[in-house]
Amino acid sequence: MKVLVTGGAGYIGSITVKKFQEQGTEVVVFDNLSKGHNEAIDCPLVVGDLQNREEISKALAGAGFEAVMHFAASTMVDESVKDPKKHFNNNVCTTFNLLDAMLEHNVKKFIYSSSSEVYGEAERLPLLEEMTLKPLNPYGLSKAMIEWSLPWYDSGYGLKFIALRYFNAAGAMLDGSMGEDHRPEMHLIPTAIRSALGLCDFKLTCAKMDTPDGTTIRDYTHVLDLASAHILALEALAQGHQSDIFNVGVGKGYSTLEVVKKVQEITGVEFSVGKGEPRKGEPAAKYCSNEKLRRELGWEPKYGLEEMIESAYLWHKNHPEGYETK
């Protein structure tokens, strides 16, 4: 199978591309490199922008793609509250451009990177795929808008999709060769690790929550386990699986303070924990049931929180400035 991967030079995309290549799948990356890195991929790269429908159409034309895997998006919750227009343009308008170009070139298999943010505040835990979506921020709404639209592309045009609702990607390649390189870095685990390495100060940015220790609770998933979910999803579509939506998480929640303490334990550094500006639009607690993904696609998470932190620590220790090129 030949696959076009949008946003494939970014964190999750590049590692998924690497795992696809290891199993012999032909991959082409489409990325504007605003967040991605040339050095993270070793495959054909089309530098283009999903805002430009003609660039997408040109990339798909006559290339023999059988599927598209869509990672490209703006992803920061707090930013989406401050600048909702950016997230609706980058996450909604661009996805419709991509879907329309796929139909134009008869590419009818689509793997979509969605988010646990579509749920909003949990009505109960663990979160199940059939629960009502009530996003609390523009980022979550942008992902829900595409989820709500995809079944109509299926019924109207025969475009088959699987949407994967991520629960906090973390970790790196186990040998530390590839990892997370956001500029600026805002995610909890890499920020805590970089603080342990003396590369930045660490500040808690969650508001006081109604949880046991007063901090947010989240479900973390190793990036390698996320990559395997994408591979299984595409294999399922190729074998005739119906369009569907799946949670991708380990099914256990950790509080922000628990994660910070685990980073301190693994790195052996008791870095100071300051207080930053609370982020807006954050639900108190989120963790999922992954039973549907296990049952229908045979997915099994291999790595826990320790492996996420250990692999990320190795990556950041060996690459304190991240990738060399942009």
What are the sequence ranges of the domains in the chain?
A: 2-167+221-248, 188-217+251-318
Do strands 254-255 and 217-218 pair parallel, antiparallel, or not at all (unpaired)? antiparallel
Q: Which pLDDT score, from 0 to 100, does residue 325 have?
A: 62
Q: Whole-prediction pTM value?
A: 0.94
| Rounded Cα distance, 49 and 94, in Å | 9
Same fold, 2-167+221-248 and 188-217+251-318: no
| Rounded Cα distance, 72 and 6, in Å | 5
Q: Which pLDDT score, from 0 to 100, does residue 115 have?
A: 96
Helix or strand run (H / E) with residue 286: strand 285-286
Could you tell me which of 202, 198, 200 has the C-alpha nearest to residue 188?
A: 202
The C-alpha angle 287, 289, 290, rounded to 5 degrees, equals 115
Q: Which of 11, 139, 153, 303 is catalytic?
A: 139
Return the exposure string of 219-229: e unless at least 16 CB atoms fall within 10 Å of the residue's CB, then b: bbbbbbbbbbb
| Rounded Cα distance, 115 and 175, in Å | 27
Q: Give yes or no: 139 in active site.
A: yes
Strand order in the sheet with 109-115: 45-47, 26-31, 2-6, 67-70, 109-115, 160-166, 244-248
| Rounded Cα distance, 75 and 258, in Å | 24
Q: Which pLDDT score, from 0 to 100, does residue 295 have?
A: 97
* CATH of range 2-167+221-248; options 3.40.50.150, 3.40.47.10, 3.40.50.720, 3.20.20.210: 3.40.50.720
Domain 188-217+251-318 in CATH 3.40.50.1820? no
Query: In the 8-state DSSP scheme, what is residue 207?
Result: P
Full pLDDT tens readout for the chain, 326 residues: 899 999 999 999 999 999 999 999 999 999 999 999 999 999 999 999 999 999 999 999 988 999 999 999 998 888 899 999 999 999 999 999 999 999 999 999 999 999 999 999 888 999 999 999 999 999 999 999 999 999 999 999 999 999 999 999 999 999 999 999 988 878 899 999 999 999 989 888 777 777 888 888 999 999 999 999 999 999 999 999 999 999 999 999 999 999 999 999 999 999 988 887 777 777 888 999 999 999 999 999 999 999 999 999 999 999 999 997 64
